[in-house]
Structure 1
Amino acid sequence: MSMKLPFFKNKQEETSAHTDLENIPNHVAIIMDGNGRWAKKRALPRIAGHKEGVNSVIKIVREACKFNVKILTLYAFSTENWKRPKPEVEFLMKLPKEFLHIYLPELMEKNVRIETIGDFDALPEHTKEAVQYAKNKTADNNGLILNFALNYGSRYEIMQAIKQILSDVDTNKINVDKLDESSFSNYLYTKDFCDPDLLIRTSGEQRLSNFLLWQLAYTEFWFTDVLWPDFNEEIFQQALRDYQQRKRRYGGL
């Protein structure tokens, strides 16, 4: 007999019509999964699923602004995604430019600030130029932080942090005896952000896929069968409502 965990929600489950503005997570992270399967179900090429997934991004950005979420981190491209077929990777590298070309004016209007985490320098020039332009353009905005994880891998991030710490110890910039969790966090891509309060993963998968392994230590997880291109405002609100019912004890009582 199969049993679904309480944080796993089916697409068909009914949702209430009201989401309270109290106890909204400050930082929501999303693993946007299922674009390829969405396309396959419709006998379309995988890139059609990625393109449709962009529509879900802007929908959820609008909802995050509406509910005063402070940070929205989206897992857009992992360090492992380079293993995919070259045409698919090339298409994915063009999506940030297409998204920003269409929606940057709206993001400016909504006071959204764009940030990235990941090995930014290893991205293609056209991708870096488009994203950096948007980061510069929105740098003075103080609303929602829309944080794209681009060429991101958590194990790589942690290893880079360890190497930098060793270098700083060698040059007496830090004392190893005073190194703690807080100071270690300052060596991560996310040093300027609070840890996620809520992680959402779409498409029915229940794994972290090398995403924010350190930062998700006490995050609330929420999984759904819904494929990312079908993820909408109502489902996002359901995740927020379920989060509001959680009791976060951080190991205490």
Structure 2
Amino acid sequence: MTTALVTGASSGIGAEFARQLAARGHDLVLVARSAAALEQLAADLRAAHGVRAEALVQDLSAPDAATRVAEEVAARGRTIDLLVNNAGFGTAGHFAQIPAEREHEELMVNVVALVGLTHAFVPGMLARGSGAVVNVGSTAGFNVAPYFATYGSSKAFVLSFSLALWSELRGSGVKVLAVAPGPTQTRFFERVGTEKAAIGAKLAPPEPVVTSALRALDRDRGYVVPGRGNFGMAHLMPRRPRKLLALIGRRVTRQVADALSPSAAR
């Protein structure tokens, strides 16, 4: 039986990945900061699907988070066959007003931990000739995102990094997938600080997002943008000139900054 490690598994898309992977028969290592939520989800999955599901509590903003997770996985005698890098959060507002330490934590979770965990587990997958990595990005990674500058840029990294690895590892037996959801019913907007951050968008439930992701992984698609509207937003906008796109994006997202000013997202 294969084992999947899912970060950010305590709620939202991460918890849904855990549920759908358990239904497929995967054992699970669930990673997040919330011990109570992880333990409850693990118990529910064991009862519902008869899989081995364990909680691993770790703050992924810590500098050595990926190393700690990998060491704990090894200490438990687990081999990771599928890595789901779902953990992440966003900041929004006027860049100069957002605390630098908060954005540092954001990059540690969205980028550094994601790369570190991929480094930790991909070599073993390559040695076995099988495995997969799923990195959860965002449609924000396709376009310039004023007032979400650090968040959007971190998700652009996730897309580029994932597709580079997908190309590099083709033929090795190891699959890589980037998932770029649009606005989804998660704690993202709560953590950003205002529901206005959704900019009037209809929030999709996590279930179809994860279903689309796993279907795309099965087909080794490289990346997927769940939802037709999201796909259009990500691909049909003109790519040039970039400065014009930045100015257009500013008009769309300015209401978020105004709603948050003078405080940044917490």
Fold agreement, TM-score > 0.5: no
Q: TM-score range by the shorter chain?
A: 0.3 to 0.5
Q: Which is helix-richer, 1 or 2?
A: 2
